[in-house]
Structure 1
């Protein structure tokens, strides 16, 4: 899945966090049903850094525990843009309180395509899927070593944002009130790089002709279409020509290879808004309908989709992330693949104006804006409440990767 992060300011929004917490009982019993055996691994080597770990920067979030000294016999590892500093479990804030069974569902998904050093743990992960949290916690301590993730300069604090899967009403064919098409990739897309811009698609008949017959569905609002393209996937409550209604997913298929430009940044540069979160952008759209097209054209990138069925267990998970496994609401994150390999369990700690987050998550996705040693995009789920939180969340974060004790470093 490919997405871009839109949050640029923060104010209070807690409904989606409550919605995620309310899923706990459902997720506890979903995990054992979905298992897999494929293997995959990131390609950035980890090397041993000689010498001491170096100083740790001051702690900004008051209730996130200050980093403890790395064990004397544990080497610091360097991977891509990050370095991993071995620490004791007592450094992980909130480790005793987390509802680990929620994370286990995401871990079971990662076991469908695990990196090699973590693949050996998957049989035990499956066995522990419905174990008490105390047993799961004890197993984590025995099997895994926590590493604090830092930049090469020793900065242990980074940025947390969030993303989600929007849900929209749609029609299979153009209809009154539904005139905004969502396209499958056009023939010959890769033969012209970059392909035509958003403005060229909207204004040039010869370009639009190349997309004729590639319409998957039609939305009512061009801003909703932009939101879906930015998030990289979405759910549609689709009405067929015969009146039949069904729920489908539009998943990322390709782009026009044009650069992504944030419409929020464009509005800030224009002096049009002070709040460039999605709620702020939508408020500006309602007040300035005559300038909406200009705003849309400021982002030349267009995303093309493929349709996927959505029923049964599939509906209980998000779209497939870059790891190739479905995302779990509240327990999947997008990371910089150069710093953290896909499939890695990660401990997060973040306190800010939106929420307090202390939990086990799985690195299962990435995004064009997710760059840096300590950079996290948190998958909040789908629908309006998840979108409200994702549109505003922007706060400090610390992260610890959990890696097999005595196992080889990720290749």
Structure 2
């Protein structure tokens, strides 16, 4: 899943609260699992610690060397340097970790069987195992500088759609055109809307139509979404549209464009939509300021499916426990300790690096997957605050 952030300034974007009410049912289920895990009488395998007292390493200052990882440098630290480590509800992250173990990095192949067995362990047993088997590293820029970066957020929109165009459904979502690979970059957004040639190449490639062109733009920025599609016979079906390619034109923030125009001061998504309602004659100018277009594929989806879309690692994302990273700084599948505090939320928790995005560049840079729906979108759209990261790596 490739996504972008919606900028709140000319250089950065704002798009993914760890306990949003739209995900209460998800968290209630996770909480029940955690309670059952804590009460489980099933003994752990002999190669795993059975209690916190089984922690072997002391929490002394580590003496090992730093690790150079692409654009980042990982500096070994003590477990006590991780803010909030003793308080995190680790069982909420374990499902995301199990998913990463479906496609583990080479360094994790040997430990993933233990990660799977620990899914029935208590939080204390999980913490003891992490201390024994893993080394935390503070993530810093390779060229030096502050170890504090930027956290933004993204989410999966849930939108009404129709299989047929009509007065209320005017914005199509397209599958990739057959000629996409033969022309790089492909046509811009404005050319697609105004020239007969790209329109003819997209004819018949429509998946569904949305009511609002801005919602279609949001869906392309986020990279995936859920649609309640009204079929030709009047029935309604829930589907997911997932990233399937782009026209490879550069991404430009529409919020940044409005700020440059002096048109708005609030470049949050509600602010952008308010401006569009007040200036309908300039809607195309706004849309065309971002030449990048994303194409989708359709996937079936059940109402009870609380999993997120597949990230760049190739596994489903977990709301509140998956992040997008710069893959040249943190490999996919890496467990990461995340600490961020700001006006939107305070986060101190275990997350998994499972996705990427074209706006996610740099060592201490992450995009937080907030989940699905409008409330997740509200969090994602406002989240822009300082960030510190620690990579957890096998000893």
What TM-score, normalized to structure 2? 0.89
Q: Which residue of 1 aligns with 2:132?
A: 142
Give structure 1 regions of 4+ aligned residues with deviation exceeding 6 angstroms.
none
Aligned residues: 366
How far is 1:309 from its partner?
0.6
1:99: which partner in 2? 89
Secondary structure of residue in 2 paired with 1:307: strand
CA contact 1:7–1:393 (8 Å) conserved in 2:
no
Alignment equivalent of 2:281, drawn from 285, 290, 308: 290
Distance 1:70 1:201, change over 3 A: farther
Q: 1:4 aligns to what? A: 4
1:43 corresponds in structure 2 to none
Partner of 2:356: 366
Among 108, 115, 127, the residue aligned to 1:125: 115
Q: Is the 8 A contact 1:339 1:372 kept in 2?
A: yes
Aligned 1:231-246 pairs, distance under 5 A: 231-246=222-237
Which residue number corresponds to residue 39 of structure 2? none
Tell me the CA shift for residue 312 of structure 1: 6.8
| Distance across 2 between alignment mates of 1:401 and 1:203 | 47
Shift of 1:26: 1.7
8 A contact 1:16–1:386 mirrored in 2: no
Q: State the shift of 1:305 in Å.
A: 0.4
Q: Does 2:347 match 1:357?
A: yes
Q: Distance in 1 between matches of 2:318 and 2:18?
A: 18
Alignment of 1:213-252 (within 5 A): 213-252=204-243
- 1:23 aligned partner: 26
Determine the structure 2 residue equivalent to 1:212. Answer: 203
Give 1:276 deviation, angstroms.
0.8
CA contact (8 A) 2:180 2:186 kept: yes
For residues 165-314 of structure 1, the aligned pairs below 5 Å read: 165-311=156-302
Note the residue ranges of structure 2 that are not aligned, 5 or more in a row: 35-58
Q: Residue 129 of structure 1 aligns to a residue in which SS? A: helix
Measured on the aligned residues, the alpha-carbon RMSD in Å equals: 2.1
Structure 1 position 288, deviation (Å): 1.4
Partner of 2:388: 398
CA offset at residue 29 of structure 1?
6.9
Contact kept? 2:153, 2:370, Cα under 8 Å: yes
TM-score by length of 1: 0.85
Residues 15 and 350 of structure 1, relative CA distance in 2, 3 Å threshold: closer
TM-fit CA distance, 1:377: 0.4
CA contact (8 A) 1:7 1:392 kept: no
Matched-pair contact (CA < 8 Å) for 1:16–1:388: no
Q: What is the DSSP-based 3-state SS (H/G/I as helix, E as strand, rest coil) of the residue aligned with 1:112?
A: coil
